Amino acid sequence: MTEAQALAAFSALSQETRLRIIRLLVTAGPDGLAAGAIGETVGASSSRLSFHLSHLEQAGLVQSRREARSIIYSVAYPALSGLVAFLMRDCCQGHPAICGPAVAALADCCAAGSP
């Protein structure tokens, strides 16, 4: 991920509704959610939701696909992983204890059977 891509992603995530959408879609998994379900959950009107989803899509953080009459949105996991990697790339600087808490947090959330 380039610095410009990271800046676009952080800009998109710096708004409360868009951050909620990303967290919701991460929870939904690779299957994603229909736009209507996203709007209901985050409490956004269809026009506001469209604006926020468009912003997230332009930043490369979500992707959409049509299924029958619905548009399904899901997280672009490679982009999200790239953003985390961009932040952590130079973290340790030869001192693994510095990044230990972040690595442990990721390991905990990714462990099988974690809540």
Residue 10 is part of a domain; what is its CATH number? 1.10.10.10
In this predicted model, what pLDDT tens digit does every residue of 7-52 receive, in sequence order? Answer: 999 999 999 999 999 999 999 999 999 999 999 999 999 999 999 9
- pLDDT confidence of 101, banded at 50, 70, 90? confident
* 3-state secondary structure at position 50: helix
pTM, two decimals, is 0.83
Residue 95 belongs to some domain of the structure: no
Per-residue pLDDT, 115: 46
Residue 83 belongs to some domain of the structure: no
Residues of 17-27 as b/e, b for ≥16 C-beta within 10 angstroms?
A: bbebbbebbee
Residue 53 belongs to some domain of the structure: yes
C-alpha distances in angstroms, 108 versus 90, 103, 105?
22, 9, 5
In this predicted model, what pLDDT tens digit does every residue of 52-100 receive, in sequence order? Answer: 999 999 999 999 999 999 999 999 999 998 998 888 777 777 677 777 7
Q: Which domain, by its residues, includes 63?
A: 3-78
Per-residue pLDDT, 27: 93
Residue 104 belongs to some domain of the structure: no
Residue 65 belongs to some domain of the structure: yes
Number of domains in the chain: 1
The answer for residues whose C-beta is within 8 angstroms of residue 74's C-beta and 6 or more apart is: 25, 28, 29, 30, 31, 32, 33, 62, 63, 64, 65
Residue 17 belongs to some domain of the structure: yes
Residue 101 belongs to some domain of the structure: no
pLDDT higher than threshold 70 for residue 112: no
